[in-house]
A and B are shown apart, each in its own frame.
Chain A
Amino acid sequence: MQHAPPRRGVAVSLAVALTATMGLAACGSDDSAGGGTPTLTWYINPDVGNSDPSAEKGGQAYLAKRCSDASNGKYKINVQLLPNDASAQREQLLRRLAAGDKSMDLMSIDPVFVSEFAQAGYLAPVPKKYEAEFTEDRVKSSVTASTWEGELVAVPFWSNTQLLWYRKSVAKKAGLDMSQPVTWDQLIKAAKSGKTDIGVQAALYEGYTVWINALIAGAGGKILDNPGAKGKDIKLDLDSPEGKKAAQIIGTIARDGLGGPAMGNSTETESLDSFKLKRANYLVNWAYTYGALGDKAKADVAATLYPRTEDGRKSAPPYGGIQLGVGAKSAHTGLAYDAAACVAGKENQAIYMSKAGNPASRKAAYTDPAVLKAFPNGIAKTIRTSLDQAIPRPQSQYYGDISTGIQQRFSPPSSVTTKTPASTQKFILEVLKGEALL
């Protein structure tokens, strides 16, 4: 019979397939096995020139190069770019971590996802010898955001916060005394009388939760009552006077058209553009705003602390930034923490803040001459004060669900009323109990 050749064919294709698989497996293996310098992979977020290794940009890729050089051959850091928005970054990190990817040596993690990763056991424990170094001289909010269930689980790298940016001339005309803290109500009144917009972030995305959380925390409330609780036991405090106050502010800004015509689609970029075009003369946005303005525009622009939700109560500015995490499955956890210590070191934080415009978590950086030059007119000091006052978003391994639930129920902003917080709370609790889809 003529079946012999096909059998040989099967053998040949099997052999080819096997070789190919083995080849692929070899590609995935540790490239330091040869005995050379171990290569650490750092997954970086692509903010403001982070992927550019040049000294002028001073981004994360540059810090990676500096630390590789400083390690004297102990390790080499290779950077990998994460997607643009925070949710997509989480998704990629999460999927790699869940699959046990051994290349997850260093990760730039958005603070809100630290709890989720830590709870799942994806982060390597911080070595005892580094605990003091990673907490001393850091702004409080950055340490809080790196802690989960009383343990330090990540390295505070840079700490972002939102300020109220405004045009001095317009605020003066509206009679706002910016040397004193202002409230949202005052801001709304001033914007109405001056026929100008307030730049806010209210698109259906993470930035909207940032705003809602800051408003609620500013009134003395909180979204999550018992951080760390299991899904079924979670207690929310959205349905509270503080939650209603937050909803009232959002609804008013949206319905009075003070958030601009496309408030429901407005992210950091859109609100900054609106501020640049002078459609909005007030803007709540992260620290990079100042660096993003042209020299001419900067002259009339100043920054002050985040607006208060209630008169007489300190505002609760949003806390952001990036924490460095080390993957539990990484083949070089020790070296990765050495690298993290270098990246988040004092000198590197000052470089990163002055060049890339992202504020340091180390207090000492705020007196660095280069930083003072990059953030003049007291802005550096305002950022530092704001960071001390900043409140992180709820810490929970279910943060993603809580945040998405809030965004969905608070969208579009013009439909937000004082009833919204109660319905949002009910919905999120149902989702967490597995009784509703998200």
Chain B
Amino acid sequence: MSTATENAAAAPPKKAVLSDRARGERNLGWKLAGPAFAVMLLVTLYPIVYAVYLSLFNYRLTDPDAREFVFVQNYVTALTDPLFWQAFTTTFIIVVITLIIELVLGMAIAMVMNKIVIPRRTLRTVVLIPYAIVTVVSAFAWLFAAQVDTGFFNHWLHALTFGWFDLEFNWFANQAGSLVIICLSEIWKTTPFMSLLLLAGLAQIDGAMEEAAEVDGATWWQRFYKVVIPNMKAALMVAVLFRCLDAIRIYDNPEVMTGGANNTMSLSMLVATETIDRVEIGMGSALAVILFVIVLIVAAIFVRGFKVDLTGGK
């Protein structure tokens, strides 16, 4: 009660500050953004709520009469099933490996791009080429490159190791081999995205600060660690967060390369199998909601961990 009165007491003077013009602009802002806001709610919130609703049913598209309310049974089943945890582990491995390598590689490329002056625009365009390729296409390219019959990987490795590497090595015969190719393909494709985001961060750093640190006798590493990194924290977080969420949803690469064989099924593939192959809408929705919650948790951890307020400033 007391807080409510306080708020009520605090509100009038605040309102009084708004001039007619400000109020008019605010109203106009609502009029302009309102429809978009409503559409956003409709297209994002509605499917989420609907998925949550469906996940409480045992509902198969081909047997609508047998639809049955089971409450949280689907979540219990999913979270206690070894297949779910296998998909979770596989996805987790892919996320960690690709994220670390992409961050290091992306940073290196971004720093090179930041320093180079002459073919700057050409370089930035060239770097983006892998990212411009549709994931399914790049997945097929990597699949063919690594396969025993059509591939050239084995020939190169065979030649580079002076015959030590087996020419007939089947990358897709076990989990480790398959994950190596899946991760390589991911890294190749999305490092450019990472480096461009990091480049944007690097470009914001005031050169004078680095110079000052240099004058003070800081080594290259000290300058990088104490000046560059803290000053591009927001860009770094955006890059890591985006890439991490992207990797959690990984679908195309493992689907094309292994189809989920040898324990390479990702969480998204599991959702697709339940929803599309088995038309088990209830279980599929439950898995999709679980994936959504995982994404939310990861996003929250990153935003807190980096201590960056993205909405701040204005």
Q: Which of B73-81, B139-147, B228-236 contacts A (4 or more CB under 8 A)?
A: B73-81
CA distance A3 to B25 in the complex (A): 11
Q: Give the residues from 190 to 240 in chain A that come closer than 8 angstroms, CB to CB, to chain B.
A: 204, 230-231
Q: Are B61 and A98 in contact (CB under 8 A)?
A: yes
Contact A91 B28 (CB under 8 A): no
Q: Does A436 contact B62, Cβ atoms closer than 8 Å?
A: no
Determine whether the beta carbon of B81 is less than 8 Å from that of A436: yes
Point out the residues of chain A lying under 8 angstroms from B66, CB to CB: 230-231
A95 touches B277 (CB 8 A): no
Contact of A204 among B63, B78, B261, B270 (CB under 8 A): B261
Partner of A437, one of B32, B63, B78: B78
Q: Which of A391-438 contact B (CB under 8 A)?
A: 397-398, 400-401, 434-438
What's the least CB distance linking B292 to chain A, in Å? Answer: 18
A94 to B84, CA, bound (A): 25
In the bound complex, how far is the Cα of B32 from the Cα of A155, in angstroms?
A: 58
Is B28 in contact with A437, judged by CB distance below 8 angstroms? Answer: no
A401 to B282, CA, bound (A): 15
Q: Which residues of chain B come closer than 8 Å to A437, judged between CB atoms?
A: 77-78, 81, 83-84, 270, 274, 283
Enumerate chain B residues within 8 angstroms of A306, measured Cβ to Cβ.
Answer: none
Chain B residues with CB under 8 A of A204: 261
Give the residue name and chain of the B residue nearest to A94 (CB).
Answer: B279
B273 at the interface (CB under 8 A from A): yes
Contact indicator B63/A231 (Cβ below 8 Å): yes
Question: Which residue in chain A gives the minimum CB-CB distance to B63?
Answer: A397
A95→B60 CA distance, assembly (Å) = 13
A438 touches B273 (CB 8 A): yes
**Are A120 and B62 interface neighbours, CB within 8 A?**
yes
CA A230 to CA B63, docked complex, whole Å: 9
Chain B stretch 57-111: residues in CB contact (< 8 A) with chain A: 58, 60-64, 66, 70, 73-74, 77-78, 81, 83-84
Answer yes or no: A375 CB below 8 A from chain B CBs. Answer: no
**Alpha-carbon distance A122/B274, docked complex (angstroms):** 20
Interface residue A87 (Cβ < 8 Å from any Cβ of B):
yes
Instruction: Determine whether B307 belongs to the interface, using a CB cutoff of 8 Å to chain A.
Output: no
| Bound CA–CA A87/B77 (angstroms) | 25
Asked whether, in the complex, the Cβ of A119 is within 8 Å of the Cβ of B62, the reply is yes
> What is the CB-to-nearest-CB distance from A297 to chain B, in angstroms, rounded to a whole number?
24
* Given A119-B62, A230-B66, also A400-B283 (CB < 8 A): no
Return chain B residues, CB-CB under 8 Å to A91. Answer: 276-277
Q: Chain B contacts of A434 at CB under 8 A? A: 58, 70, 73-74, 77, 280, 282-283
Q: How many residues of A contact B (CB 8 A)?
A: 25
Hey, which chain A residues are within 8 Å of B26, CB to CB? none
Set of chain B residues within 8 Å of A165, measured between Cβ atoms:
none
Contact with B along A1-21 (1 / 0, CB 8 A): 101001000000000000000
Q: How far is the CA of A231 from the CA of B278 in the complex (A)?
A: 13
Fill in one digit per residue for B256-287: 1 if any A CB lies within 8 Å of its CB, else 0: 00000100000000100110111110110000
Q: How far is the CB of A350 from chain B (nearest CB, A)?
A: 35
Within the assembled complex, what's the spacing in Å between the Cα atoms of A87 and B259?
13
Name the distance in Å between A307's Cβ and chain B's nearest Cβ. 29
A351 CB to closest chain B CB (Å) equals 34
Give chain B nearest CB distance to A229 CB in angstroms: 11
Interface membership of A286, Cβ < 8 A: no
In whole angstroms, how far apart are the Cα atoms of A218 and B289 in the complex?
A: 45
Task: List residues of chain A with CB within 8 A of the CB of B73.
Answer: 434
Chain A nearest CB from B22 CB (Å) reads 14
Nearest residue, chain A, Cβ from B274: A437
Q: Are A3 and B63 in contact (CB under 8 A)?
A: no
- How many Å lie between the Cα of A52 and that of B261 in the bound state? 34
Taking the closest CB of chain A, its distance from the CB of B150, in whole angstroms, is 16
The smallest C-beta distance from A291 to any residue of chain B, in angstroms, reads: 26
Residues in chain A near residue B83, CB distance under 8 A: 436-438
Q: Please report the C-alpha to C-alpha distance between residue A6 and residue B73 in the assembled complex, in whole angstroms.
A: 51
Within the complex, the shortest CB–CB distance from A10 to chain B, in Å, comes to: 8
- Beta-carbon contact of A116 and B273 below 8 Å: no
A43 on interface, CB distance cutoff 8 Å:
no
Query: Would A95 and B77 count as touching, CB distance under 8 A?
Result: no
Q: In this complex, what residue of A is CB-closest to B173?
A: A265
State in angstroms the CA–CA spacing of A260 and B280 once bound together: 37
Q: In the complex, are the beta carbons of B84 and A400 less than 8 A apart?
A: no
Q: Which residue of B lies closest to A88 (CB)?
A: B277
CA A398 to CA B66, docked complex, whole Å: 12
What is the distance, in angstroms, from B174's C-beta to the closest C-beta of chain A?
A: 12
Q: Which of B58, B63, B64, B77 sits near A436, CB closer than 8 Å? A: B77
Tell whether, in the assembled complex, residue B63 and residue A120 are in contact, meaning their CB atoms are under 8 Å apart.
yes
Query: In the bound complex, what is the Cα–Cα distance between A230 and B61 (angstroms)?
Result: 14
Task: State in angstroms the CA–CA spacing of A435 and B66 once bound together.
Answer: 16
A398 to B63: give the CA distance in the assembly, Å: 9
By beta carbon, the residue of chain A nearest B60 is A231
Within the assembled complex, what's the spacing in Å between the Cα atoms of A437 and B78?
Answer: 7
Residues of chain B within 8 A (CB-CB) of A400 are 277-278
Residues of A within 8 A of B270 (CB): 437
A2 CB → nearest B CB, Å = 11
Report if A319 contacts B (CB, 8 A): no
Give 13 A-B contacts (CB < 8 Å), ordered by A residue: A6-B32, A94-B62, A116-B62, A119-B62, A120-B62, A120-B64, A230-B63, A231-B63, A434-B73, A436-B83, A437-B81, A437-B270, A437-B274
Given contacts A230-B63, A438-B273, 8 further A-B contacts (CB under 8 A): A1-B28, A3-B28, A98-B62, A119-B62, A397-B63, A434-B58, A434-B280, A434-B282
Residues on B lying within 8 angstroms of A by beta carbon are 28, 32, 58, 60-64, 66, 70, 73-74, 77-78, 81, 83-84, 261, 270, 273-274, 276-280, 282-283
